[in-house]
Structure 1
């Protein structure tokens, strides 16, 4: 079963009298539980593709179908509610709220869903322990390293068990060793819970963590290849 499918997606920006084609009729599908990478250099269109898939930008044409639902015509309010219930994000710059502790940051997606405070706090603590931050529960972002902040970001993305997670350049602000640790953890979490994970990156080394690598160049899909080395590591997810 496909978790997300895009059909003939085209995105055109009008800048003055100029017409810039950011995406040119891209079609692809990502299966439920698949770990997929969208790989491309700066300016290739990969970030625009992520934004369209996540409903952060509207395509000029084409359709986006998530979990069998065509969300292309959703209003901004409908998209916001859909993201809260179905999508998690891991950002390059972490996007943690500086005035909140690690527990409070991780609990936010559950708060948006109306989960009671005691229950969401318990789930946030459990998830932070799962990413090896049990000793940083009450720390604020400024009291943590970049790698620790990104682990908080991973915990936040997974805590509500969304159907789909987007990771946008998740190691872009990290050194290579910390980046490897973060990728190992993120992929392990996705496999543990059977989550669909889409990683967007410019780095071929990061792409190797995915079971499938889709390469974007000048707004077009130029290759779509399986990665047996990563696929062979897949385990039965937890229920």
Structure 2
């Protein structure tokens, strides 16, 4: 494994009226290729801000964010869009599926943005839906699926383009405990199988147990970093 993501002296300050709110103080962080990391902290700790900066959705007030040797803090919005399309996948707490599209169409959406022909993207989307156990749900719309099924579609969408980095923002926040276990095994298993870097944001210590490295965020600072052996490591051969 080699260094894939590096943050140097990253600070983020928001202006609220005449006041300054410091969301991140002075973050130095390195994440390796193929590593599963968890940004763990309570609401307001700065973990979601850090995720947004890593994904290029916001720019730091100060500091450097280097991904694949590219300083993403220097990219304009057009180049950031292309960067995310090429390298990044997202899994959201609220699923973020388009209600008017079928599962197949939702999964194929990232490929459509890349200009991949319909026939090819439908084939890839079918393969991903099979991988997440939803072969029979190709033509169902979000309203016809449970929360767990919708999140599986969201996972398939995140992985369909084989991105090098997956960001998962509270991916199990709307799920019951059994579905949470299934979803976490699925996400981490697929990431390990494909040697993808997975960064999970959560306030839940039990979710953090799936990670190789837990980055504890408190009041805009990295309080500590704990390297661990994941308690739920799905072997690559178990994911078909």
Category of TM-score, reference length = shorter chain: over 0.9
Aligned-pair distance for 1:56?
0.6
In the superposition, the TM-score normalised over structure 1's length comes to 0.96
- The 8 Å contact of residues 190 and 236 in structure 2, kept in 1 or not, is answered as no
- The 8 Å contact of residues 210 and 233 in structure 2, kept in 1 or not, is answered as no
Name 2:56's counterpart in structure 1. Answer: 55
Equivalenced residues, count = 237
Find the aligned partners of 2:200 and 2:168 in 1 and give their Cα distance: 5
What runs of 5+ residues in structure 1 fail to find an aligned partner? none
Secondary structure at the aligned position of 1:185 is classed as helix
Secondary structure at the aligned position of 2:73 is classed as coil
Query: CA 1:192/1:112 → structure 2, altered by over 3 Å: closer, same or farther?
Result: same
Name 2:218's counterpart in structure 1. Answer: 217
- The 8 Å contact of residues 152 and 183 in structure 2, kept in 1 or not, is answered as yes
CA RMSD of aligned residues (A): 1.5
What runs of 5+ residues in structure 2 fail to find an aligned partner? none
Task: Map Cα deviations across residues 92-130 of structure 1 (whole Å, 9 max, x no partner).
Answer: 000000000000000011111111110110000000000
Aligned-pair distance for 1:195?
0.7
Name 2:139's counterpart in structure 1. Answer: 138
Equivalent residue runs for 1:70-149 within 5 Å: 70-149=71-150
Name 1:171's counterpart in structure 2. Answer: 172
Task: Map Cα deviations across residues 113-171 of structure 1 (whole Å, 9 max, x no partner).
Answer: 11111011000000000000001010000000000000000000000001111000000
In the superposition, the TM-score normalised over structure 2's length comes to 0.96
Query: CA 1:77/1:198 → structure 2, altered by over 3 Å: closer, same or farther?
Result: same
- The 8 Å contact of residues 13 and 20 in structure 2, kept in 1 or not, is answered as yes
1:156 paired to 2:172? no
